[in-house]
């Protein structure tokens, strides 16, 4: 199975707003814990470790590219 990157969310803006709201009032450490817990919960829901590994690699590459673009 491979990672499906096609748009599938009915309302991605609402999801983004919910993610931002979830971080409100948290310090940096708590915010990182929230992100880690969310990733682990969703990875468990996906259940296909190879797909999760693909997602991790893509997310890391995107983050590195964005970091390079802002440097």
Q: What is the DSSP letter of 25?
A: T
Look at the pTM and tell me if it is higher than 0.95: no
CA–CA separation, 60 and 65 (whole Å): 9
Res. 71: pLDDT tops 80: no
Classify residue 31: in a domain, yes or no: yes
Q: Is residue 6 part of a domain?
A: no
- Tell me the residue ranges of DSSP E strands in 1-71: none
Q: Is residue 2 part of a domain?
A: no
10-59 confidence digits (pLDDT tens):
999 999 999 999 999 999 999 999 999 999 999 999 999 999 999 999 99
pLDDT of the residue at 42: 97
Residue 18 lies in a domain: yes
Residue 3 covered by a domain: no
Domain that holds residue 35: 12-70
Q: Could you say which DSSP state residue 58 is in?
A: H
For residue 5, is it within any domain? no
């Amino acid at each position: 199975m491979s990672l499906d990157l096609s748009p599938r969310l009915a309302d991605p803006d609402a999801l983004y707003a919910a993610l931002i709201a979830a971080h409100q009032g948290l310090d940096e450490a708590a915010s990182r814990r929230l992100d880690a817990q969310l990733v682990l919960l969703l990875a468990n829901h996906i259940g296909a470790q190879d797909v999760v590994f693909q997602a991790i690699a893509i997310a890391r590459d995107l983050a590195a590219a964005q970091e390079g673009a802002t440097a």
